[in-house]
């Protein structure tokens, strides 16, 4: 008993310690959040500092407690919303307090090519209004230089360098590994160019996929070169990108020297020298150090320049990230959340039109259809729907876009990919190596299917393939109806092929070139609103900070996704059977006495057992086994 008491006290002490740590983390996070709130009254004369330490995205993911723990430092990377960056730059045009714009790109992690083009256009507008732009980085690559090219003067650290890689590159192919492991990738697809499944069925890229990729990347690269050339005519970007090794060898490996000689940058100097240079133009800030310049904080400046609210509201729905089912927060395009936002906006009965901003590679066909059907409700209310494509609006993204009355894309937008696929693994070859086999009694050809131990039956394979083919027909049909084409015409430009925005316009998949402002203007025109007599009302999910310690960990699921179609049925049954097998294996080791257990009692359906949700439950010793019901 004395040992039990000591053990109990020890466990209570651990529990109290964990509670104390959790409270400290909670109040620390609360203090950090409150102390970093933007202050619009703190703006003074100086340079707007765009220290882009992270990536530019269409819609940032909702922050979580885990994010706070991992990124609590002052220099932690962040996601910058594209429209906020553009708004901040445009706001400098009429603000006399802003003497210049400083781009610190040393820690810039990039963004989509179309997004960076939008930022570049905003920089050009500011420069034309008389705002000098100064850029600095220790090292420049494609994305950072795409922005820096718009600067009045480009600086680089003399120990740094510059490299242009261009789009494209290799991807991994897993067929050889799967064969060695004995894993069968059961693939169901429609589309000659639907290459997303090729890594599981080939050792290399198919000729069709290579053709499509080459065409797309050539357009994107030519467009990048053209933008840089227009923004900085003196820069020899194309010759350097075509023969980087030759230039590096001629300069004895001194890439900074190459950058100066090829007029890619204007001056070499470290960060201190750059700050002194800026201070000479905008004023010295003595507080941090005598070498610092008077700067205007990005978040403070945004707070001082809120979105315009004059005129009639035009709703803007954002579909950003992979399209999935459910109601997850931002970071993915959760169809339940987005559809709910649309229905709620329609109930308010104030909107004059809808703009759908899409930056998504697609995802679930059912989830895409859920969003499209919600948009069709807006059409029933006679609301014009205009689609604005961002960096990518492909596959499921285009599925959603088909609901639009008018579709805008940029020349570098990646779109199309009208095709569908599904992949379900089975392990009959792998398990057979270890002597694991499958046998049983079937009442129908689908009893026990999908059989990940014995392999999928021909009946199931035929059903799944026909289901995918039916989904493709649905995709082609709805696109044909929306774009005024025949299904045969859509099939010819479909087949999973990805197109750049320029080619997509020629093919009739989009109606015109333009960004979000062009889409708003078109929506206003269709709603009968006068020019300037409207404003964008962004219908976004509230960005809530989650205090749950394990929120954001992909192994932990917070909601159940309903079964959607035969593929969803097969996938969920396979997961359930796999979970049952794992539970059986756990039970084999856990049970230590004679069992009075019925193995056949759950033979009709795989048991609905809860499978351990990752390393957290494993760490806590969670057992997923349960008695049959």
- Between 189-203, 307-321, 474-488, 567-581, the lowest mean confidence (pLDDT) is in 567-581
Identify which of 30-34, 122-126, 435-439, 541-545 has the greatest average pLDDT: 122-126
Does residue 441 surpass a pLDDT of 80? yes
Residue 613, pLDDT score: 41
Mapping DSSP onto H, E and C, the string for 359-396 reads EECCECHHHHHHHHHHHHHHHHCCCCEEEEEEEEEECH
Kindly give, in sequence order, each residue whose CB lies less than 8 Å from that of residue 598, ignoring residues fewer than 6 positions away. 628
pLDDT band at residue 475 under the 50/70/90 scheme: very high
- How confident is the model over 492-519, as a mean pLDDT? 95
- How confident is the model over 78-91, as a mean pLDDT? 96
Q: Answer left, alpha or beta for residue 499, where phi above 0 means left and psi between -120 and 50 means alpha.
A: beta
Q: Would you say residue 537 lies in a domain? A: no
Could you tell me if 145 and 282 lie in one domain?
yes
Could you tell me if 66 and 19 lie in one domain?
no
Query: Which residues are paired to 393 by β-bridges?
Result: 360, 415
Could you tell me if 138 and 262 lie in one domain?
yes
Q: Would you say residue 600 lies in a domain? A: no
**Which residue range is the domain that position 9 belongs to?**
1-37
Q: Would you say residue 46 lies in a domain? A: yes
Q: Would you say residue 83 lies in a domain? A: yes
- How confident is the model over 432-439, as a mean pLDDT? 84
Q: Would you say residue 48 lies in a domain? A: yes
Residue 573, pLDDT score: 66
Q: Would you say residue 12 lies in a domain? A: yes
Query: Which residues are paired to 295 by β-bridges?
Result: 47
- Give the residue from 304, 331, 358 where a domain finishes: 304
DSSP conformation class of 64: B
Does residue 504 surpass a pLDDT of 70? yes
Could you tell me if 113 and 154 lie in one domain?
yes
Does residue 316 surpass a pLDDT of 50? yes
Q: Return the sign of the alpha-carbon dihedral for residues 336, 338, 339, 340.
A: positive
Does residue 599 surpass a pLDDT of 80? no
Between CA 167 and CA 28 the distance in angstroms is 42
Between CA 217 and CA 215 the distance in angstroms is 6
Three-state secondary-structure class, residue 225: helix
CATH at residue 145: 3.90.226.10
Percent of the chain having pLDDT more than 70? 78
pLDDT digits (tens, 9 = 90+) for 326-349: 888 888 999 999 999 999 999 877
187: phi then psi, degrees, rounded to nearest 5: -110, 135
Could you tell me if 108 and 16 lie in one domain?
no
Could you tell me if 6 and 95 lie in one domain?
no
Q: Would you say residue 597 lies in a domain? A: no
Does residue 577 surpass a pLDDT of 70? no
Could you tell me if 252 and 285 lie in one domain?
yes
Active site members: 194, 395
Does residue 432 surpass a pLDDT of 50? yes
Angle at which helix 458-483 crosses helix 365-380, to 10 degrees, equals 30
Could you tell me if 152 and 237 lie in one domain?
yes
Q: How many CB atoms lie within 10 A of CB 41?
A: 9
Could you tell me if 73 and 144 lie in one domain?
yes
Query: What tokens appear for 102 in the block?
Result: 């400083």
* Domains contained in the chain, number: 2
Query: What tokens appear for 528 in the block?
Result: 């009968």
Between CA 111 and CA 56 the distance in angstroms is 5
CB burial of residue 36 (10 Å; 0-12, 13-18, 19+): exposed
Between CA 412 and CA 113 the distance in angstroms is 7
Kindly give, in sequence order, each residue whose CB lies less than 8 Å from that of residue 37, ignoring residues fewer than 6 positions away. none
- Give the residue from 304, 325, 348 where a domain finishes: 304
Could you tell me if 18 and 141 lie in one domain?
no
pTM above 0.85, yes or no: no
Could you tell me if 27 and 137 lie in one domain?
no
DSSP conformation class of 561: P
Could you tell me if 106 and 149 lie in one domain?
yes
Q: Would you say residue 484 lies in a domain? A: no
pLDDT band at residue 433 under the 50/70/90 scheme: confident
Identify which of 24-28, 71-75, 154-158 has the greatest average pLDDT: 154-158
- Give the residue from 256, 273, 304 where a domain finishes: 304
Residue 450: is the preceding peptide bond cis (ω within 30°)?
A: yes
Query: Which residues are paired to 103 by β-bridges?
Result: 50, 135
Query: What tokens appear for 87 in the block?
Result: 């708004």
Q: How many CB atoms lie within 10 A of CB 109?
A: 15
pLDDT band at residue 610 under the 50/70/90 scheme: very low
pLDDT digits (tens, 9 = 90+) for 161-170: 999 999 988 8
Do the Cβ atoms of 58 and 331 come closer than 8 Å? Answer: no
């Amino acid at each position: 008993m004395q040992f039990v008491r000591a053990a109990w006290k020890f466990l209570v002490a651990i529990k109290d310690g964990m509670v104390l740590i959790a409270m400290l983390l909670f109040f620390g996070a609360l203090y950090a959040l409150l102390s970093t709130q933007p202050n619009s009254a703190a703006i003074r004369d100086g340079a707007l500092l765009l220290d882009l330490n992270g990536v530019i995205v269409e819609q940032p993911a909702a922050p979580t407690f885990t994010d706070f723990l991992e990124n609590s430092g002052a220099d932690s990377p962040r996601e910058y919303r594209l429209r906020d960056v553009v708004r901040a730059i445009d706001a400098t045009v009429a603000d006399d307090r802003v003497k210049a714009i400083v781009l610190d790109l040393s820690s810039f992690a990039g963004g989509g090519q179309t997004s960076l083009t939008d930022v570049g256009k905003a920089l050009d507008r500011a420069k034309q209004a008389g705002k000098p732009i100064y850029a600095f980085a220790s090292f420049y690559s494609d994305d950072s230089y795409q922005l820096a090219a718009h600067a009045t003067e480009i600086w680089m650290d003399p120990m740094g360098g510059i490299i242009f890689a261009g789009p494209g590159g290799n991807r991994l192919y897993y067929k050889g590994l799967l064969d060695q492991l004995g894993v069968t990738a059961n693939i169901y697809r429609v589309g000659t160019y639907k290459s997303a499944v090729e890594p599981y069925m080939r050792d290399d890229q198919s000729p069709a996929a290579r053709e499509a990729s080459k065409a797309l990347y050539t357009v994107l690269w030519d467009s990048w070169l053209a933008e840089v050339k227009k923004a900085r005519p003196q820069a020899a970007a194309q010759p350097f990108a075509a023969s980087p090794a030759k230039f590096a060898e001629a300069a004895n490996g001194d890439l900074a020297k190459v950058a100066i000689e090829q007029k890619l940058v204007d001056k070499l100097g470290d960060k201190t020298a750059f700050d002194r240079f800026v201070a000479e133009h905008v004023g010295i800030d003595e507080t941090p150090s005598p070498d610092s310049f008077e700067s205007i904080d990005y978040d403070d400046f945004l707070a001082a320049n809120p979105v315009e609210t004059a005129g009639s509201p035009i709703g803007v729905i954002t579909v950003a990230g992979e399209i999935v089912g459910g109601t997850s927060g931002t970071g993915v395009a959760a169809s339940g959340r987005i559809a709910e936002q649309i229905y709620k906006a329609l109930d308010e009965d104030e909107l004059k039109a809808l703009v759908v901003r899409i930056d998504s590679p697609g995802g679930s066909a059912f989830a895409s259809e859920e969003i499209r059907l919600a948009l069709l409700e807006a059409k029933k209310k006679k609301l014009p729907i205009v689609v604005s494509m961002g960096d990518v609006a492909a596959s499921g993204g285009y599925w959603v876009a088909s609901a639009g009355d008018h579709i805008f894309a940029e020349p570098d937008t990646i779109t199309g990919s009208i095709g569908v696929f599904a992949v379900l693994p089975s392990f009959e070859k792998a398990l057979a190596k270890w002597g694991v086999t499958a046998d049983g009694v079937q009442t129908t050809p689908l009893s026990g299917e999908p059989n990940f131990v014995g392999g999928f039956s021909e009946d199931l394979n035929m059903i799944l393939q026909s289901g995918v083919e039916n989904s493709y027909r649905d995709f082609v049909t709805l696109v044909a109806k929306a774009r005024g084409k025949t299904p045969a015409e859509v099939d010819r430009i479909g087949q999973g092929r990805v197109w750049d925005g320029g080619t997509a316009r020629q093919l009739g998949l989009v109606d015109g070139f333009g960004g979000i402002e062009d889409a708003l203007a078109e929506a206003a025109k269709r709603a009968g609103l006068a020019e300037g007599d409207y404003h964008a009302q962004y219908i976004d999910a509230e960005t809530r900070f989650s205090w749950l310690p394990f929120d954001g960990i992909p192994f932990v699921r917070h909601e159940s996704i309903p079964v959607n179609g035969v593929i969803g049925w097969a996938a969920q049954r396979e997961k359930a059977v796999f979970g049952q097998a794992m539970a059986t294996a756990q039970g084999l080791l856990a049970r230590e006495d004679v069992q009075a257990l019925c193995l056949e009692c759950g033979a009709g359906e795989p048991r609905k057992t809860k499978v351990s949700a990752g390393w957290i439950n494993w760490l806590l010793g969670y057992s997923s086994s349960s008695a049959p019901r």
